Amino acid sequence: MNDQTERTSCAVGAAPLGMPPRHPLARLGLVLATLMLIDTAFGQADNIDPAEALSPDTSPALDQPALPAETSVAEAEPDSEEGAGGGEPLSPDYGLTEEQVAAYQPPHDPADDYFDAIDRIEGDLGPYATELSDLYLGLGQALIKNGDFEQARDAFHRGVMVERVNSGPNSPEQTNHLFQLANIELLLGEWDEADEILQNIYFVNTNYYGDTSAEVLPVLDRIYTWYMLTRPPGSPELDYYNYERIIEITEEAARVSEAVNGKGHHDTALAYRRAGDSQFQMVRHLTGAAMMMPPEMYVATTSGGISPLGFGAETVVKHYNSGRKAYLHFLESLATTESTTPLEYAEALADLGDWFMVFEKPRKSRSLYEQGYKILVENDVDPAVIESYMSRPQPMHFIYHRLPDLIGESPEGFSEINLEFSLTVTSYGQVRNVELLNAPDGLEEDALQEITKQVQLTPFRPALKQGEVVTTREFIWRYQIVPDWAAS
C-alpha cells in the first residue's frame, strides 16, 4: 500500500465547516464562540475595567479606582436572610466553618460595575463624556455574556452616539461599537440588519479616510473575516446576496491594495487570490454543486442552458470568468513583486491550475502544474523542495468541507474519530475507489456513507512525478473528526 498520506481535521459543529448544530442552544453557543474568535482576531474588543472610571471624589480625574464597598456575609446580621447573598440564612446544617462563612462572597455581575461607572461619569462629566465610549463597549460585552442582547444592543448604540457627538458622524472611532451591533443582530437572527451595519462601517471609514486610503484595508479585512467566521461558504443560511457581498468586499480590497501598494506588492497579490476564491464559491452556489462541478452541469450552463437554481447561464459564466481573471492578476502581481520566491510563484501557478481543474479543463491545469515544476528546476531550487512540490495529492485550497450531522448522542468518552480512506486520485483530480479502512464504533452507517460520498466528490490537486501529472493509487487520506467542545 502506498505510504503517501494526507490528513484533514474537521470539527463537528465548528464554524469553518458551515454545519449548524441541530439544537437552538447549541447554535447560540456556536455563534457566541464565533464572536469571541472575531474579538480575539482583531484585539478590538478588550474588556474595559470599570474601576478605572471611578475615583474617590467628584473630580474628573480617573486614575484612582474606588469601587463601592461590597457588603460581605460576615458584616450581615447572623440571622438575616441577606447574610447568604439574599438566599436562606447560613446555618451549621450547611457544614461550613465560621471562616468559610466569613470568606463567602455572593455572585457578582460585572455588568453592575459598568452601570455604576457610567452613572458616576454621567453625573460628573455629562451624558456624552468621551470616557463613556469604552464603558458602553465593556457593558455591552458583559450583557452579551449574560444573554441580555436587547440591553447590550442599547449599550452599543449609546457608545456610537457618544463617538458621533464627540468626533463627528463619520468618525472611525465608532467602528468597534458598530461591529458589536452587527454581532448582536447576528445573535438575534437579524441577518439583513447585520449586513446593513457592516455596509455602514465601510461607508463611515471611506468617508473619513477616503476610498483609496491604506486605513480602509484593515476594515475590509475585518469585514471579510466576519463573514468567513459567521457564514462560511456552503452554510445553508447563505444566498446569492451573501456571496455577492463577499465578492464585493474582496474585489474592493484588491482595488484599494493596488491603489495603495501598487500591483507588484505581496498584499495585492493575496487580495486577488482571495477575490478568485470568492468567485469560485459563488459559482459552486449557483450550480448547486456539492464539491465538484460535474462536466454535464458546466457544459449545460455555458452552452445556454439554465442552472438548477434558475440563474441564467450568463450569470455562471460571468463569475467563472471573473474568478479566472482574479487568479491571473494574482500571478501577474507575484511576477512583478521582487520578494516573490520561485516556490511562491510555482504554488500560485498550481492555484490557477486548481481553478481550471475543478471546472473540467484538465489540459490547461496540467500545463500550469508542470510549468510550476519547471520554474523550480530552472531556478536551481533545493532538490528536496522540488521533490516535495506536488509530491502527493491534496484537496484544493478553496474547498470548505461541510459535514452532515454525524453524531446524535456522542458515545461515552468520545473525543475524536480518525478515519482512514484508501483512494485513487486520477491525473484529472478525480477521486476513485474510495474505501474506508477503519470504520469506528459510534458512527451510524448513514453518516459513514455520507462522509465517504463527500470524500469521493472532493476535488483533489493531483500529484507530480518528475515534472509530470500522474494518477496516484492506494493513497491514504486521514480524516479526523473532532466535536466542537473538544476542539476548543
Question: What distance in Å separates the CA atoms of residue 222 and residue 41, rounded to the nearest whole number?
Answer: 9
pLDDT of residue 370: 93
**Separation of alpha carbons 348 and 334, rounded Å:** 8
The listed range with the strongest mean pLDDT (20-34, 182-196, 412-426) is 182-196
| Average pLDDT of every residue of the chain | 75
d(CA 283, CA 216): 28
- Per-residue burial over 120-135, b if 16 or more Cβ lie within 10 Å, else e, is bbeebeeeebebbbbb
Does position 43 have pLDDT exceeding 80, yes or no?
A: no
> What pLDDT shows up at residue 450?
80
The pLDDT tens digits of the residues spanning 194-209 come to 999 999 999 999 999 9
> For domain 5-10+398-487, is the CATH number 3.30.1490?
no
Pairing of strands 468-470, 431-436: unpaired
- pLDDT for the residue numbered 415: 57
Percent of the chain with pLDDT over 90: 36
Distance CA 471, CA 116 (A): 68
Contact by Cβ (8 Å): 417, 486: no
Residue 15 — very low, low, confident or very high, per pLDDT cuts 50/70/90?
very low
| Domain 24-68+93-209 belongs in CATH node 1.25.40.10 | yes
Write the pLDDT tens digit of every residue in 335-361: 888 889 999 999 999 988 888 888 778
Question: Residue 47 and residue 126: Cα distance in Å, rounded?
Answer: 23
Q: What is the pLDDT of residues 163-178, one digit of tens each?
A: 999 999 999 999 999 9
Per-residue pLDDT, 230: 83
Same fold, 5-10+398-487 and 24-68+93-209: no
Which of 76-80, 142-146, 226-230 shows the lowest mean pLDDT across its residues?
A: 76-80
Question: Of the given ranges (320-329, 337-346, 357-366), which has the lowest mean pLDDT?
Answer: 357-366
User: pLDDT-derived band of residue 387, with 50, 70 and 90 as boundaries?
Assistant: confident
Contact 272, 329 (CB under 8 A): yes
pLDDT of 19 over the 60 cut: no
Q: State what percent of residues in the chain have pLDDT above 70.
A: 67
Cα dihedral across residues 83, 88, 92, 94: positive or negative? negative
List the domain boundaries for the chain: 5-10+398-487, 24-68+93-209
Residue 318 has pLDDT above 70, yes or no: yes
Range of weakest confidence among 317-321, 390-394, 470-474: 317-321
Residue 67 has pLDDT above 50, yes or no: no
Long-range CB contacts (within 8 A, 24+) of 36-42: 37/229, 38/179, 38/183, 38/225, 38/226, 38/229, 41/225, 42/222, 42/225
- Whether residue 372 is predicted with pLDDT greater than 60 in this model: the reply is yes
Q: What is the mean pLDDT of residues 78-85?
A: 42
Kindly report, residue by residue over 91-146, the tens digit of the pLDDT.
444 566 777 767 767 677 888 899 999 999 989 999 999 999 999 999 999 999 88
Tell me, what's the pLDDT at 23?
Answer: 39
